[in-house]
């Protein structure tokens, strides 16, 4: 018997599903559909696929069941629910068309014979006459005409099975409109030198054109390239990104003690060269909806704050060297060990980091921002560089002395000098018109070009770090150093951990609370 004479077997939703969402490109959807098939050939409609499915990405992954399953052809059918489709299926059935004009509302009931553009051909039930009426904008049709119509796409298959029974069909496809975004949140207690909370939040957004039932979500912090993006021109439907949670709760007691709740972290595994995050709970997402969940949540993460002064060079500054316009900013970075001993040890994707700190009442204030610029492996230390410099630690740099050797022109190279004249005569090209040429044996020897005397610069540099805090601090300094015939003529004293690299030097100074530390050193280097 032909499949055209049978009612199609329809699966409206998956029995189970998994979705892998990427930071860019279409998501990868895996579904398992359960259907009951009669023996022989059937038409199977796997409905409820998303509107933004990438058609050329559909594949059958596996089949289970009571008998042998022969696949046969399959095809993707887009959503087919529309007014035109309803009227087309209603041909041959009784319908009522309701229209309104200047005379009021009127209705026509009868068997729908044809639909021609915006007009309907109806055989009236009362008179048996055939009338042609405008379609109008209101219709009454038998509910049976809706069967087989859906506002969602379908995968239609024509399998043949050896035995009637229950079969599971695994399908996989790519779909646009599914995305995830990540952002980090840090509750930082500077006095305790600890992150009271370190959290990575995930925003999952569904703009695929179809709702997603309870599904296991997996996330890859990479881009899924290579599919033909046939739906990329469509604008996503509805749904704006969920805003970050407000962080203004008062935890009382003059300080923030804990997050006061727990959450399961995602599981992490390595797939190829990618990190795959599996969320612990299944999630359902309506079309246009964004849900927020936790990727990782940790408490009591110790940090080592480090103050540092970037290289800005030394200049002869006029006026007062401690004038506000001459002071340089000192920045802060937080050094974090990503290991279990620090209550972390979790592979972390890149992302923006919001820094919150409690005020004297315990209310959280957003004080700064940072960024994890690249993926951080489990066990790999990382640094959060804060964007705002310290308000209590300032620095000044200046040259207290600078002497550059003058330019010396050797006498032999002066214009008109005898050696220069001989050099020109000896190297002049011979000319037959000028008469006999001087023999090479009696020609004066070419003068040797005098060597240029090297020039040097001697500098004395002064660096002052001021600390207006109520505790001692250490500041790491980076200074530029010459790379050409360079030496210290007055060494750097009172510093720790001096490391010289190509063109720079790094060292650390201790600055007492409410005081200042001065570093003076001198260098000599060749300028030409």
| Run of H or E residues at 206 | strand 194-206
Helix (H, G, I), strand (E, B) or coil at 256: coil
Tens digits of residue pLDDT in 449-503: 667 788 999 999 999 999 999 999 999 999 999 988 899 999 988 899 999 888 8
CATH number of 394-404+454-526: 2.60.40.290, 2.60.120.460, 3.40.50.300, 1.10.4030.10?
2.60.40.290
Distance (Å, rounded) from C-alpha 448 to C-alpha 314? 41
The secondary structure of 271-300, three-state, reads ECCEEEEECCCCEEECCCEEEEEEEEEEEE
* Topology annotation, domain 83-146: SH3 type barrels. (2.30.30)
pLDDT for residue 232: 40
pLDDT for residue 338: 96
pLDDT for residue 289: 96
The secondary structure of 429-477, three-state, reads CCCHHHCCCCCCCCCCCCCCCCCCCCCEEEEEEEEEEEECCCCCEEEEE
Total length of the chain: 528
| Run of H or E residues at 329 | strand 328-329
pLDDT for residue 1: 47
pLDDT for residue 375: 93
160 with 39: CB under 8 angstroms?
A: no
Q: Which of 382, 454, 444, 380 is nearest to 418 (CA)?
A: 444
202 with 264: CB under 8 angstroms?
A: no
Q: Which of 237, 242, 236 is nearest to 290 (CA)?
A: 242
Q: For residue 274, what are its two tokens?
A: 């990618």
Write the burial class of residue 104 (CB in 10 Å: 0-12 exposed, 13-18 middle, 19+ buried): exposed
Those residues of the chain that have pLDDT short of 50 are: 1, 230-258, 413, 416, 418-441
Q: Which of 161, 217, 193, 167 is nearest to 18 (CA)?
A: 217
Helix (H, G, I), strand (E, B) or coil at 2: coil
Per DSSP, 237 falls in state P
Residue entry with tokens 């040097």? 456
């Amino acid at each position: 018997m032909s499949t055209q004479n049978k009612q199609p077997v329809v699966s409206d939703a998956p029995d189970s599903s998994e979705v892998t969402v990427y930071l860019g490109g279409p998501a990868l959807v895996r579904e398992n559909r359960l259907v009951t098939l009669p023996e022989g050939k059937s038409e199977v409609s796997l409905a409820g696929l998303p509107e933004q499915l990438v058609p050329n990405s559909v594949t059958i992954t596996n089949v289970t069941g009571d008998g042998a399953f022969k696949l046969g052809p399959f095809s993707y059918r887009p959503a087919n629910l529309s007014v035109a489709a309803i009227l087309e299926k209603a041909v041959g059935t009784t319908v009522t068309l309701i229209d309104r004009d200047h005379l009021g509302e009127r209705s026509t009931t009868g068997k729908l014979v044809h639909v021609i553009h915006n007009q309907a051909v109806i055989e009236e039930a009362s008179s048996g006459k055939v009338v042609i009426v405008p379609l109008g904008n209101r219709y009454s049709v038998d509910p049976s005409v809706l069967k087989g119509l859906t506002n969602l796409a379908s995968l239609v298959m024509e399998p043949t099975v050896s035995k009637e029974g229950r079969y599971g069909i695994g399908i996989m496809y790519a779909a646009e409109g599914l995305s995830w975004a990540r952002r980090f949140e840090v509750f930082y207690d500077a006095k305790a030198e600890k992150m009271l909370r370190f959290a990575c939040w995930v925003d999952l957004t569904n703009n695929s054109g179809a709702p997603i039932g309870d599904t296991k979500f997996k996330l890859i912090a990479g881009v899924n390239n290579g599919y033909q993006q046939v739906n990329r021109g469509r604008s996503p439907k509805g749904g704006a990104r969920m805003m970050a949670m407000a962080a203004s709760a008062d935890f009382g007691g003059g300080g923030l003690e804990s997050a006061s709740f727990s959450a399961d972290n995602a599981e992490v595994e390595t797939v190829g060269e990618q990190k795959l995050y599996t969320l612990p709970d299944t999630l359902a997402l309506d079309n246009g909806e964004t849900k927020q969940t936790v990727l990782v949540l940790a408490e009591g993460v110790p940090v080592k704050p480090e103050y540092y002064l970037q290289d800005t060079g030394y200049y002869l500054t006029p006026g007062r060297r401690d004038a506000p316009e001459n002071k340089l900013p000192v920045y802060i970075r937080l050094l974090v060990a990503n290991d279990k001993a620090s209550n972390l040890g979790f592979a972390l994707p890149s992302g923006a980091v919001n820094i919150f700190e409690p005020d004297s009442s315990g209310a959280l204030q957003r004080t700064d921002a940072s960024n994890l610029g690249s993926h951080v492996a489990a066990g790999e230390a990382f640094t959060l560089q804060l964007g705002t410099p310290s308000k209590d630690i300032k620095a000044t740099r200046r040259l207290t002395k600078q002497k550059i050797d003058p330019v010396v022109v050797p006498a032999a190279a002066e214009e008109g000098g005898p050696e220069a004249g001989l050099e020109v005569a000896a190297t002049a090209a011979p000319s037959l018109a000028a008469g006999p040429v001087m023999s090479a044996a009696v020609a004066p020897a070419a003068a040797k070009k005098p060597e240029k005397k090297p020039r040097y610069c001697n500098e004395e540099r002064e660096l002052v770090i001021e600390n207006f805090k109520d505790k001692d601090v250490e500041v790491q300094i980076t200074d530029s150093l010459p790379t050409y015939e360079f030496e210290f003529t007055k060494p750097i004293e009172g510093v720790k951990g001096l490391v010289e690299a190509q063109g720079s030097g790094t060292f650390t100074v201790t600055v007492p609370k409410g005081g200042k530390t001065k570093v003076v050193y001198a260098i000599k280097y060749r300028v030409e």
